[in-house]
Amino acid sequence: MAEKKKETHQSLLLGRYEIGKLLGHGTFAKVYHARNVKTNESVAIKILDKEKILKGGLMVHIKREISILRRVRHPNIVQLFEVMATKKKIYFVMEYVRGGELFKKVAKGRLKEEVARKYFQQLISAVSFCHARGVFHRDLKPENLLLDENGDLKVSDFGLSTVSDQMKDGLFHTFCGTPAYVAPEVLARKGYDAAKVDIWSCGVILFVLMAGYLPFHDQNIMSMYKKIYKGEFRCPRWFSPELIRLLTRLLDTNPATRITIPEIMENKWFKKGFKHVRFYIEDDRLCSVEEDDIESLSEKSFSESESEQPEPRKRVLGLPRPASLNAFDIISFSPGFDLSGLFEETGEEARFVSGAPVSNIISKLEEIAKVVSFTVRTKDCRVSLEGSREGVKGPLTIAAEIFELTPSLRVVEVKKKGGDRGEYEEFCNRELRPGLQKLVCEESAAAAAAVAAAAVATEPLVLSDTE
């Protein structure tokens, strides 16, 4: 029995993951199904050989892929959970997508229009999200689109992806992609707009989903390139006029007049049944929000503290007690003795000390969020404030956590979790800091008033004693 336990422990990858069957392999990597023994969660682990990567000069390429996957966290993109390394191997621990490749589904025949539209909508949502963050896939095809157990699409394989800061003269020049899905301007080798290249690939994918075959195909690759360059394709008879018009714009050989992402999202065929993807990040994991729940969620988030509750005290008493700060925590809060850098990289953060009860602090954070139309999520003594405005780095997301310094004092620690640093600093200076300082002043004034009232209440008793 002890021997069996020892064997199991040794088979665990870095003591946490139980490796299962091989899912796929390439020149430099193998992908396995694995199980996190602590959480029982299924994951996919991509194992790369360091020696092969170094010999191939791909280390920069791998680092870029990690950076890109961390930047594009979206419900329709395969998630990277963590990266680990040993002397010989690099491990990407990723979301395990059970449904396999979309390509296998299309290989059985064309899809129904409503099914193809759903996948195309999810693809465009993911691509739009990437482009807003300066990330371009450059190898979109059904083989790189996976389906989860709910039948939702997940974009994978960002190995050929690039970012906007790698452009020369405002264009990209690297020839890459899969021949049948590559845009004509890439073939011209004169530089290209990577966003427009992704849109072309999306057009080819949509055609394949609806037709069951490629729009540009030939046994001779040079003949196929000529067809792509000229934009020669014919739509089958079952394509609706609306779909044909959309495909004509998607597969426009002139990138300057090719349809854009915002125009796609306003297209009549595309918009049928379309729901914007809503999500937030909590505990470093993606959490999706259904469109139908947005209104009720916002109402609860913004007005829970102000709503007329028959017994308002029950909610206050139900709040968990905040975590206490130990001596090390208090020392690390001091700028002169900030030891947190020894353990992790510190992001933008601020701290406030307040004598207000936890319920009052949460109410004040909800009040501040309401002013700027942020969504609020509360879990125990942690509050997440999420903006709705999309920027290059995504919506501004701020995490606030309340700690107990003494029985009568609380520390509110505020950190930027996502979004632009300038927008975060502006929000802190204009809304958050004044709002929390106002709370401190209100509590001080209330305390002073209470002391004064107590003094007035006891004064007649003192006078009556002397008389």
According to DSSP, the residues that pair with 285 across neighbouring strands are 282
Kindly tell me the sign of the dihedral angle through the C-alpha atoms of 64, 66, 71, 72.
Answer: positive
∠ CA 206-209-215, nearest 5°, is 65
Q: Which one of the listed residues 49, 139, 252, 420 is annotated catalytic?
A: 139
Q: Left if phi > 0, otherwise alpha if psi is -120 to 50, otherwise beta: which for 152?
A: beta
Residue 222: φ, ψ to 5°: -70, -35
Q: Quote the DSSP letter at residue 430.
A: I
- State whether residue 249 is helix, strand or coil: helix
Considering only CA atoms, give the Rg of the chain.
Answer: 28
Residue 154, annotated as binding a ligand: no
According to DSSP, the residues that pair with 401 across neighbouring strands are 382, 413
Question: Active-site residue 139, yes or no?
Answer: yes
Q: What would the two tokens of residue 415 be? A: 């950190």
Return the number of other C-beta atoms located less than 10 Å from residue 267's C-beta: 18
439 membership: H or E segment, kind and range: helix 433-466
Neighbour-count burial for 5-15, b at 16+ CB within 10 Å, e otherwise = eeeeeeeebee
Distances (CA, A) of 229 to 184, 190, 213: 5, 13, 19
206 membership: H or E segment, kind and range: helix 194-211
Distance CA 270, CA 336 (A): 56
Q: What would the two tokens of residue 38 be? A: 């602590």
Q: What would the two tokens of residue 14 be? A: 């870095």
Residues classed as catalytic: 139
- Would you list which residues are annotated within the binding site? 46
- Would you list which residues are annotated within the binding site for ATP? 46
